[in-house]
C-alpha cells in the first residue's frame, strides 16, 4: 500500500496562482493535456485532490500500441494477445485485434508528468465547483481564461448539477483481490458466484480479481460474501476489497 503524500490539515494552505490554463484532474486525461501543452509558452496549472499517481482513479490497461505511441512502455507489466472466457457451459478463446497491456498506474502517471518537461505546475486541491471562469477549491478560488475538466464522470465543472451515487446512473462493482497468478487474461462468468447478477472472475499474473457487477445505483455491502465465492474459485485468499 503506497504511503499517502497528499497535504493535509495545516499544510493545505490557501493557493493563489495566475495561469493561462487550469487543468482540473491529474489522471490520464489531465496529464495528457499538460504533456501536450509543454513548450507552448502557456502557464499551466494542474490540480488534483491527490498527489500524482497516489490513488488509482482509472483502469490500468490499454492497447499496447497506445503505450508505444505515448512512450509509456516503462510502466508496462503484462501483455495479452487473446481473451479466454469461461462459463458453466464452455470455454472460448478469442484472438484480440491488438495486444492489451496492463501497467503500473503510479509509474505511468510519473512518465506522463515527466514528458511535460517541468513547464506545468502541480498542486493538490479538491475541486468543488465552478463559477464562470473561476474554479472553487478547498484551498480557495482559482481563475483562468481556459479551464480543462479532467475530473471524470462526476461533472463537477459542468453547467448541470454534479452527480454522485446513488443518483448517478452507473454500473457499479465490488471487487476483491485474491492471491494467485496467471499468464492469460481470463474471465469466469458464472451466476453461481453472484445470484441474479453478473459474476466475473479475472485472473492475471499481477492482480487477479473477482467482481460482482450490479447494473443499478447501489452495490450493497452484502454482496461481499457472494464475490468472495468467486475469489475462492481462484484458489486464494481475499487480499483487498474495492468498490
DSSP notation for 17-67:
---SEEEE--SHHHHHHHHHHTTS---EEEEESS-TTSS--S-SEEEHHHH
Q: Average pLDDT in the 166-194 region?
A: 65
Which stretch of DSSP H or E encloses residue 121? strand 121-124
Cα(109)–Cα(231) distance, rounded to whole angstroms?
29
Helices and strands in the chain, H and E counts:
4, 15
Give the up-direction half-sphere exposure of residue 205: CA atoms within 13 A in the CB hemisphere: 10
Handedness of CA 167, 56, 28, 114 (dihedral sign): positive
pLDDT of residue 195: 52
Model confidence at 235, pLDDT cuts 50, 70, 90, reads: low
Please give the C-alpha separations between residue 27 and each of 70, 149, 174, 199, in angstroms, as whole numbers: 15, 11, 22, 28
> Is 201 in contact with 188 (CB distance < 8 Å)?
yes
pLDDT of residue 1: 41
pLDDT digits (tens, 9 = 90+) for 53-91: 998 766 678 999 999 999 999 999 999 999 988 888 999
Please give the C-alpha separations between residue 155 and each of 19, 25, 63, 81, 133, in angstroms, as whole numbers: 22, 12, 27, 35, 16
Grid cell 473477482 — which residue? Answer: 210
Decide: helix, strand or coil at residue 173: strand
Average pLDDT over the chain, rounded to an integer = 78
Cα(79)–Cα(204) distance, rounded to whole angstroms?
10
**Interior angle at CA 92, CA 90 and CA 93, nearest 5:** 165
Is the omega angle on the peptide bond into residue 240 within 30 degrees of 0, that is, cis? Answer: no
> Is 188 in contact with 136 (CB distance < 8 Å)?
no
pLDDT digits (tens, 9 = 90+) for 95-151: 999 999 989 999 999 999 999 988 899 999 999 999 999 999 999 999 999 999 999
Which residues lie across from 79 on neighbouring strands?
Answer: 101
| DSSP-derived secondary structure letter, 113 | H
Which residues lie across from 48 on neighbouring strands?
Answer: 124
Amino acid at each position: 500500500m503506497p504511503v499517502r503524500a497528499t497535504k493535509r490539515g495545516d499544510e493545505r494552505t490557501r493557493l493563489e496562482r495566475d495561469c493561462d490554463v487550469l487543468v482540473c484532474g491529474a489522471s490520464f486525461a489531465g496529464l495528457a493535456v499538460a504533456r501536450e501543452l509543454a513548450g507552448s509558452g502557456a502557464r499551466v496549472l494542474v490540480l488534483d485532490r491527490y498527489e500524482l499517481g497516489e490513488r488509482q482513479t482509472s483502469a490500468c490497461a490499454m492497447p499496447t500500441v497506445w503505450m508505444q505511441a505515448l512512450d509509456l512502455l516503462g510502466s508496462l507489466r503484462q501483455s495479452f494477445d487473446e481473451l479466454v472466457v469461461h462459463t458453466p457451459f464452455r470455454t472460448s478463446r478469442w484472438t484480440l485485434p491488438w495486444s492489451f497491456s496492463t501497467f503500473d498506474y503510479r509509474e505511468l502517471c510519473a512518465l506522463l508528468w515527466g514528458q511535460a518537461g517541468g513547464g506545468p505546475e502541480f498542486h493538490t486541491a479538491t475541486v468543488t465547483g465552478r463559477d464562470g471562469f473561476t474554479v472553487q477549491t478547498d484551498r480557495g478560488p482559482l481563475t483562468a481564461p481556459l479551464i480543462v475538466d479532467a475530473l471524470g464522470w462526476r461533472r463537477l465543472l459542468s453547467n448541470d448539477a454534479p452527480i454522485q451515487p446513488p443518483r448517478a446512473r452507473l454500473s457499479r462493482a465490488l471487487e476483491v483481490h485474491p492471491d494467485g497468478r496467471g499468464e492469460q487474461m481470463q474471465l469466469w462468468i458464472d451466476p453461481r458466484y453472484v445470484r441474479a447478477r453478473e459474476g466475473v472472475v479475472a485472473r492475471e499474473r499481477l492482480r487477479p480479481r473477482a467482481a460482482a457487477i450490479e447494473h443499478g445505483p447501489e452495490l450493497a455491502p452484502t454482496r461481499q460474501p457472494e464475490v468472495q465465492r468467486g475469489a475462492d474459485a481462484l484458489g486464494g485468499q481475499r487480499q483487498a476489497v474495492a468498490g
